[in-house]
Structure 1
Amino acid sequence: MKKVLLSILAILLLALVWYLFIKPSDYTVRFEAKTFPGAINQTIKLWDQTQDTVVSVSQEGDDIYHLTQKIKFGDSIHIYNWEMQAITDSTSKVKVNIHDENHSLANKITVPFSDTDFEKRSRKTVLDFMENLNDHVNKFKVTIVGEEEIPTKYLAYIPLKVTQFQKAGGMMKNLNYITQILLENEVQLDGSPIVQVTHWNMEKDSIEYNFGQPIIRSERLPMNTDIKYRRIFSKKALKAEYNGNYITSDRAWYALLDYAKANDIEVEPTPVEIFYNNPNFGGNELQWKAEIYMPIKEGNE
């Protein structure tokens, strides 16, 4: 009996030491979101820009499922470790492990016995984010179509390097310019405007892409401008339909990555987007349509 009691005491002591000195979080908030992890990832990053108390937010490489956020409250820095896991195509589990850099031990001692200011502040911060997330999710829709072919097109384009959030601005800035020059030279258009991403840095949320207008190749192509030309070749890809403001059409990229992961399909993170509405005409953004393709890696087709 004495050995059993000593074993129990040892286990309890080890558990107490782990809880007070090793456990990485002082408090954890869990919730479910009606969207996929990539949309949550991007909303956290954009939400940060509206919060004066946020010190930084960071992501390790291409791991979009984990974010570390530092927020200043008074004399303390609170670290929010966000973990996101897809449940279905349109729902995710979110866990937020919260840690106070300066008062962690005190929090761990008091949290189990009272509803502390630290807990209240943590819940309020996460609830504020959830409201922001719900507002964003209601403004777009992504529908996974499945495997299809990227259509073959000959493209007159301008190469651009921007952040993902600036992508639509680059489109708006160059659409009229490209179209006007092509029409002045009597070049025949061949479909809706296209974005072809050539490089995507998920850690920095930056992209390099070609934006342009599909055309019929001819001898009339203007060669004395900064417009370039290339052919987009047909290739198997995962396809989604996006409805919403084109600023956030990249949300479909993340949905396709989740779909590829769930179905064990290797893809190339170089999406192609085709846009069917002109934002200059306004209207209900949920009626705007884009087709999004994520190329499937060769050998995985």
Structure 2
Amino acid sequence: MKRKISIGLVFVLVFLLFWYLFLKPSDYTVTFKANTFPGAINQTLKKWGKNFSGKIIGQKDLLHIDQRLQFGDSLVDYQWIITPVTDSTSRIKVRITDKNNSLKNRILIPFTNSVIEQRSKKNLLDYRDILNNHIKKFKVSVEGEATLPASFCAYLPAKGAQAEKAFGMMRDFPYLSSFIEENNLKPIGTPFVEITEWNTVSDSISFNFCYPIQKTDSLPIHHEIKFKEYPSKKAIKAIYNGNYITSDRAWYRILTYAEKNGIPVNSNPIEIFRDNPSLGGNELEWQAEIYMPLKNSDE
């Protein structure tokens, strides 16, 4: 009987050793808490990774991102697993594997303070500082279900990287406003952006930069500027305060809210900008209303 128990224990130990050396999903794992929602983490870790010639090698969804970074001659995979805990906190688990030295790392880690441990701790402390600095620069508050008001607008279609949306707006605003003035069109309200396509893997968008105007029976014809009527829609509304370059953080915040509350939405937000960034001032006082339309929400 004792011999059978001893053989069983040896078998278990051999299996555990084999799993640790060859099957374990990472060489080293780090877990920490972040005081923000998953979308802000998603965007900052992608930007941070570029400091190490990083590229995204897989993104299952907003919460699961596989990133490959380069440190000298070593290629290191960071597998990010983001778990929302509350509306304003998340847990981040990072599984780290050195593609060139995986077996060596697994042998050394239990006995020494290995290079991968030292480098990973340093890098993730650096990332956490960047994330904490970033989330101090904006605020998002979800107000819940609301009605997006109807409007009629002149607009310019555009597309590009998500992070370049605000620069596209600044580029097109003089062109659009001059067209409205030259054709004696009456502006009503402030400009807004309608996102028509959003690729959350490549972080690219197509959008319409819109200027609300009074609808008339006779509209000028232009080879680039078009006109569109927007019906009133039910939506989830959020208030964003901060630089409009990162107003997309509110999109992610609304998606997290909608998923948590079981509300089906169309992930094509509309942003109404209430302040003119060219006037300067405290960015945290700049305000935008962000609407994420409910599915089948035309009234």
- In structure 1, the residue matched to 2:115 is 117
For the 8 Å contact 1:79–1:101, the answer to whether it is kept is yes
Q: How does 1:221-260 map to 2 (within 5 A)?
A: 221-260=219-258
Task: Give the Å deviation of 1:225.
Answer: 4.8
Is the CA contact 1:175–1:212 (under 8 Å) kept in the aligned structure 2?
A: no
Equivalent residue of 2:180, what SS?
helix
Q: Please say which of residues 216-225 and 199-208 is displaced more in the overlay.
A: 216-225
Tell me the residue number matched to 2:15.
Answer: 14
| AA of the residue aligned to 2:53 | V
Counterpart of 2:32 in structure 1 is: 31
Q: Residues 157-172 of structure 1: matches in 2 within 5 Å?
A: 157-172=155-170
Report the residue type matching 1:144 in the other structure: V
What amino acid is the match of 2:116? F
Distance 1:36 1:102, change over 3 A: same
Instruction: Write out per-residue CA displacement over residues 134-175 of structure 1, whole angstroms, 9 at most, x where no aligned residue.
Output: 111111111011011111110110000111011001111111
Per-residue deviation, 1:54: 2.3
Kept in 1: contact 2:159–2:204 (CA 8 A): yes
Q: What CA distance in whole angstroms lies between the structure 2 residues aligned with 1:152 and 1:224?
A: 23
CA shift digits 1:251-294 (9 cap, x unpaired)? 00001111111111111111011000011001000000001111
Q: 1:58 and 1:190, CA in 2 relative to 1: closer, same or farther beyond 3 A?
A: farther
Partner residue in 2 for 1:207: 205
- What's the counterpart of residue 196 of structure 2? 198
Secondary structure of residue in 1 paired with 2:219? coil
Q: Aligned partners of 1:118 and 1:59: how far apart in 2? A: 22
Give the partner amino acid of 1:201: N
CA contact (8 A) 1:186 1:220 kept: no
Which residue is equivalent to 1:48?
Answer: 49
One-letter amino acid matched to 1:41: N
Q: Partner amino acid for 1:124?
A: K
* Match status 1:85 vs 2:86: no
Structure 2 contact 58–67 (Cα < 8 Å) conserved: no
**Cα distance change on mapping 1:224 and 1:75 into 2, 3 Å:** closer
Normalised by the length of structure 1, the TM-score is 0.94
The 1:238–1:66 alpha-carbon spacing in structure 2 relative to 1, beyond 3 Å, is: same
Partner of 1:154: 152
Q: Which amino acid aligns with 2:59?
A: E
Secondary structure of the corresponding residue to residue 187 of structure 1 = coil
Unaligned residue ranges in structure 1 (runs of 5+): none
Residues 185 and 220, structure 1, Cα contact 8 Å, conserved in 2:
no
Paired position in structure 2 for 1:69: 67
2:148 is aligned with what amino acid? I
For 2:172, which of 171, 174, 180 is the aligned residue? 174
**What's the CA shift string for 1:5-33, capped at 9, x where partnerless?**
32222222211111110012000111111
Residue 60 of structure 1 corresponds to: 59
* Matched AA of 1:45: K
Gap regions ≥5 residues in structure 2: none
Q: Tell me the secondary structure at the aligned position of residue 247 of structure 1.
A: helix
Is the CA contact 1:141–1:286 (under 8 Å) kept in the aligned structure 2?
Answer: yes
- The runs of at least 4 consecutive aligned structure 1 residues that moved more than 3 Å come to none
Shift of residue 179 of structure 1?
A: 1.4
* Identity over aligned pairs, percent: 48
What is the TM-score with the length of structure 2 in the denominator? 0.95
Secondary structure at 2:295 match in 1 = coil
Size of the alignment, in residue pairs? 297
Q: CA deviation at 1:58?
A: 3.5
Distance 2:122 2:196 in 1: 40
Give the secondary structure class of the aligned counterpart of 1:169: helix
Q: Does 1:275 align with 2:266?
A: no
SS at match of 1:87: strand
